[in-house]
Amino acid sequence: MKVAIFGNTLYAGVMSALLSETGHLVYWCSQLDTKADDQQYSFHDENVSHLLEKQLTTGFLRYSDLASIPLDIDVYLFSFNQTQEQQVFQLLHSLKQRPIIHPKLMINASTFGLRGTEKFQQILSDDDWVYLPDTMQEGNALQSLTQAKQLIVGCTRSEVQVKVKELLRPFFPLEQQYLFMPILDAEFTKLSISGMLATRISYINDLAVVAEKLGIDIASVRQGMSADSRIGSAYLAPGAGFGGENFSHDILTLANTVANTGVKSQLLAQVWDINEQQKEILFRKLWNYYHGALQAKSVAIWGASFKENTSSIQHSPIHQMLAALWAQGVTVHLHDPQALDEIEMMYGQRSDLVLHHDQYEAVHNVHGLCVLTAWKQYWSPDFKQLNQLMQHPLILDGRNIYDPHYVKAQGFAYMGVGR
Amino acid sequence: MTKQIHPFPVREQTSVVEQLAVLQKQFKELHLNTLFAADEARFKRFSAEYDQIVFDFSKHRIDQQVLSQLVDLAHVQDLDGWIKRLFSCEQINYTEQRAAMHWALRLPKSSPTLPVVNQAVQAQLEQMYALVEKIHAGQCRGATGEVIQDVVNIGVGGSDLGPLMVTHALSDFKVKTAKPLDIHFVSTMDGSQLSGLLHQLRPETTLFIISSKSFGTIDTLSNAQTVRQWLEKALGNNEKILKNHFVGVSTKPDKMTEWGIAPDKQLLLWDWVGGRYSLWSCIGLPIALTIGVEGFKQFLAGAYAIDQHFQTAPFEQNIPVLMGLLGAWNNNFLDIQTHAVLPYDGRLKYFAAYLQQLEMESNGKSIQRNGEKVSSVTCPIVWGEVGPNAQHAFYQLLHQGTHSVSCDFIAPVKRYNANQFTYAESAEALVEQHHLALSNCLAQSRLLAFGNRALAADELQGLPAYKQYEGNQPSSTILLKELNPYSLGMLIAMYEHKVFVQSVLWNINPFDQWGVEKGKEIANQLLPILNREQEDLSSFDASTQGLLKILLGKTDG
């Protein structure tokens, strides 16, 4: 089949790579407003990038701008992030101008809340619209898609289902691998999955606060819970709060949806609030450690991106930390392997923020070190050097990546989350 | 009223008073219907407009002659001179040797007037603004580092009524804050409000403002002590509590320090601010916390505008002067001894209570500045309620009772027009409700003034006596373009200056309050008995002895 893929998300990249690998002819248009040779994507995933490069050389994958996409495309797939809704509308209107023979298979894989697909359908109403929820896990993108037990598809018309199954047959050859349901149901399912995962994180964070007060190490509790096959280990790590653009947006959309139906449910609002609280937990620990006397102190932070292996700082706890520390007159020395440019773009030059490209440089003369993102390079630092460089040997471990006993034995004051 | 010495010739005081006495005889029997019939242009003649305020006083029992005699009375009492003395550093509060410079609290930052005072005022305001911004940003923290989300104002009298009234009145102008923020007020010494409030609050996220000019008010300090224990119970007895959960507002930094308020959490005011005039100072912190720094600046600007108007407008068009003169005319000449304040806007719910302190604590006096007893009556009884609610309560007495009552009707012209998040969804229906309130406001003042004449002619035929309305109750109507921080600042300053005008007419000192001091002392004599530290009741009167015995559980029956 001839497939056109629009959008610069990780999902768009993965689908381009995988579909072209199986012999589909794929035209990927990632940027609507630039030339095809400026191909850009918004993700960092080496496996996906390698596969994409390989497919380009085979000729089954072509980077393309809108104008050079042929008219005889069988399947259009749209995968945008939620800030790009207007661009999608423009794109659909320009597609409408083209002399395409309808109907075509139109796949929406972007999350624009409930009835998002319906809005697209109103523009190109002669086509066959389906919704494919993007439930890909960052950091494990290819496997999470190809090895899914079942694929959720928002599509109820059997003649359209046939087209979907033909497109995805190489990955999902069996009938029972498809879970067809109405589009609205699928959209709500997608949000509900994010809501469930967020609930798990806020639940463990809530327990961590209690554990701390009772002198229990939440790490043991977490291991014990994970050992129960009904629970499993995913999304159970206590820490300084979840972030990320799409995930956070899903939770807010779901919470608003619930609120606007008039149903009296506060669970998701609380999940969100707990997480917002959690984002400044390291600040509160610092505050307590110094009895509120933070004026004119300096603090190092390792990690600004909302999770490791990305430069995205959207909804990252770094923002709450900076605001809280600055309000108390603290100077922040920040290191991050990838996100410093984003930070500088957002906050500009200021005297109470010093950006460091070397993680050890950042801790020079500071009164405490906060680890906010679990980048691999932070896991096994040179503790002796840290101790020598820091003004006061205090480590606040926002991701519980260190062994408390070992760190304390190195002469540090140590505090994790829930331990 | 005493004789004044003037550098320039003015009419003899006695002749003005005599002239007014003649008019008094004439006007006591004169009906407002007659006055309106005689002059088509009454509204035009007897209303004044300034900035966002319209003051209609046409429904008062006056004519041009009365008005000019009243203005003459102001002149012979040297109101001009007194206004100049008020707007100076002179210690016109002579019984306490203090100036009365609340007007200096609303001087613009750039004003060249009294640079030293202005600088001190601005410095305190800036400190307060910084605290407000910090709280609004969600960066003011309690002992555990959690964000402050509830602020409780502990104060009484001027440290309570003013901030409470304004905070309520400007609730539509509540600014959005990073985290939800609620303001609470606690005043009564018996702990009534605290007992209901504390169990709803979390110690970790609650900040207390201890607001006391003298920092010695027992009501406030007893409440403060209770909350301090409440905090200590939850968070431990340590310095962090004092440092992070208390703000003090007072003239006495040493007393605040002694109590334990951290130096950087002390906001100051000065002896030259009377308690009932202190909402413009840092006592207004709850106001600023509600409407934000910009809102508070607007509030001050509104009052400043009235300060300018009061000092410069000719008396015939000077709203506070007119309010004062009309009040004195009703009170001293028409023998109307009570004055009702009737806002047609539920947000002004506490306005009457606030005015009761402002007017009655200021002018409820009977000794003149020369030490002699006054010969005429002074401050009337001030009372009131939100108009539409009062219509179902005491309006019966206004319309058909035996008392003469003068009224102030207060209403905003526009409401629900700012797309504020609190009401935006139902704005259309609410606007209609506002129109309903306005129509009631006008209807009531008409009926009070004109009685039966306000009814249709066919309605009147065969109307039994008990359904009849006599009318002739005078009233003012004050219209605000809308109720906002600026116009409310104007409205309050108008009443402040009205009170001053009347104090000049009656030759009394409006800035002291000796009548509320002694009761506190006598309470101090009784407390040891109720605490069973002292047994001897013989120094008390029979009634007090009897009551004490019951309270101590010593009676047989």
Extents of the domains making up chain A? 2-181, 183-278, 280-419
B348 and B448, same structural domain?
Answer: yes
Chain B within 8 Å of A149 (Cβ-Cβ)? no
C-alpha A80/C-alpha A71 separation (Å) is: 22
Burial class (CB in 10 A: 0-12, 13-18, 19+), B424: exposed
The answer to whether B280 and B102 have CB atoms below 8 angstroms apart is yes
Nearest Cβ partner for B146 among A284, A286, A328: A284
pTM, two decimals, is 0.88
How many C-beta neighbours within 10 Å does residue B468 have? 14
The second-level CATH assignment, the architecture, of A183-278 is: Orthogonal Bundle (1.10)
Chain A within 8 Å of B130 (Cβ-Cβ)? no
Contacts of B310 (CB under 8 A, 6+ apart): B83, B318, B319, B320, B321, B493, B497
Which residues from chain A sit within 8 angstroms of residue B240, using beta carbons? Answer: 291-292
CATH class name, domain A2-181: alpha beta
Phi, psi of B521 (to 5 degrees): -65, -45
B342 and B478, same structural domain?
Answer: yes
Which residues from chain A sit within 8 angstroms of residue B244, using beta carbons? Answer: 292
Question: For residue A164, what pLDDT is reported?
Answer: 96
Residue B307 inside a domain? The answer is: no
- Tell me the angle at which helices B115-136 and B285-312 cross, rounded to the nearest 10 degrees: 150
H and E: helices and strands count for chain B? 22, 11
Residue B95 inside a domain? The answer is: no
Residue positions of B annotated with a catalytic role: 361, 392, 520
**From A321, which residue of chain B is nearest by alpha-carbon distance?**
B139
Residue B230 inside a domain? The answer is: yes
Q: Can you say how many angstroms the Cα of residue B393 is from the centroid of all Cα atoms in its chain?
A: 23
C-alpha A49/C-alpha A14 separation (Å) is: 9
Give B159 to chain A, closest Cα distance, Å.
29
Which residues from chain A sit within 8 angstroms of residue B145, using beta carbons? Answer: 283-288, 292
Question: For residue B557, what pLDDT is reported?
Answer: 45
Parts of chain B with a pLDDT under 50: 7, 557
> Which of A324, A318, A317, A244 shows the shortest CA–CA distance to A276?
A317
Which residues from chain B sit within 8 angstroms of residue A324, using beta carbons? Answer: 139
Using DSSP, state whether B12 is helix, strand or coil: coil
Q: Can you say how many angstroms the Cα of residue A241 is from the centroid of all Cα atoms in its chain?
A: 13
Contacts of A331 (CB under 8 A, 6+ apart): A296, A297, A298, A299, A351, A352, A353, A354
Strand partners of residue B207: B151
Q: What is the DSSP letter of B332?
A: I
Parts of chain A with a pLDDT under 50: 36
Residue B297 inside a domain? The answer is: no
> Which of B309, B301, B212, B295 shows the shortest CA–CA distance to B256?
B212
Tell me how long chain A is: 419
Question: For residue B423, what pLDDT is reported?
Answer: 86
Give A221 to chain B, closest Cα distance, Å.
25
| Alpha helices for A29-153 (secondary structure H) | 46-58, 85-97, 116-123, 141-146
Question: For residue B90, what pLDDT is reported?
Answer: 96
- CATH number of the domain located at residue range(s) A280-419 in this protein: 3.40.50.720
Nearest Cβ partner for A283 among B145, B239, B244: B145
C-alpha B380/C-alpha B62 separation (Å) is: 19
The answer to whether A277 and B202 have CB atoms below 8 angstroms apart is no
> Which of A131, A101, A105, A137 shows the shortest CA–CA distance to A118?
A131
- Best of A213, A291, A320, A396 to disrupt the B interface (most B CBs within 10 Å) is A291
* CATH topology agreement for domains A2-181 and A280-419: yes
- Best of B141, B148, B179 to disrupt the A interface (most A CBs within 10 Å) is B141
Nearest Cβ partner for A287 among B137, B141, B239: B141
B196 and B223, same structural domain?
Answer: yes
Strand partners of residue B480: B53, B412
Residue B6 inside a domain? The answer is: no
| Alpha helices for B391-426 (secondary structure H) | 395-400
Phi-psi region of B345 (alpha: psi -120 to 50; beta: other; left: phi over 0): beta
The answer to whether A75 and A4 have CB atoms below 8 angstroms apart is yes
Nearest Cβ partner for A288 among B134, B137, B145: B145
Which residues from chain A sit within 8 angstroms of residue B146, using beta carbons? Answer: 284
ipTM entry: 0.80
C-alpha B479/C-alpha B50 separation (Å) is: 11
Chain B within 8 Å of A63 (Cβ-Cβ)? no
Strands A331-335 and A353-356: parallel
Which residues from chain B sit within 8 angstroms of residue A327, using beta carbons? Answer: 134, 137, 139
CB contact under 8 A, B240 and A291: yes
Total structural domains in chain B? 3
Q: What is the DSSP string of B112-144?
A: -SSHHHHHHHHHHHHHHHHHHHHHHTT--B-TT
Amino acid B329 reads W
What are the strands, taking DSSP E only, across A273-341?
298-302, 331-335
CATH of the domain at B21: 3.40.50.10490
Phi, psi of B30 (to 5 degrees): -80, 135
Which range of residues forms the domain containing residue B64? 13-90+313-457+468-511
